Homo-oligomer: A and B are copies of this chain.
Amino acid sequence: MKTTPRSPLRDIVARNMRRLRAERGWSQEYLANECGLNRTYLSAVERSEQNISIDNLYRVAQGFGVESWTLLKAE
């Protein structure tokens, strides 16, 4: 099994998270509290540095109150 290369989904998720936070006027700290995830971790996801799993993606979606699949869709 080869190492999985960075996928373009990282940038799509990062962009959607930044857009949703901006629309709501939320800081990363506020989002972190809504999701129950670490702020440093979420910051890395927003810089496309973290390869987020679907369990954490679900928490982010729940925090924003959106459907998970919308986070993977390029606007």
Interface residues of A (CB under 8 A from B): 1-2, 4-10, 13, 36-38, 41, 51-59, 67-70, 72-73
Contact = CB atoms under 8 A, between A and B. Distances in A.
A9 B68 contact: yes
19 contacts: A1-B36, A1-B37, A1-B41, A2-B36, A4-B37, A4-B53, A5-B55, A7-B57, A7-B58, A9-B57, A9-B58, A10-B54, A10-B55, A51-B55, A52-B54, A54-B54, A54-B57, A57-B72, A67-B73
Contacts of A73: 67, 69
Contact of A54 (B2, B7, B70): B7
A66 to B, nearest CB: 12
Contacts of A41: 1
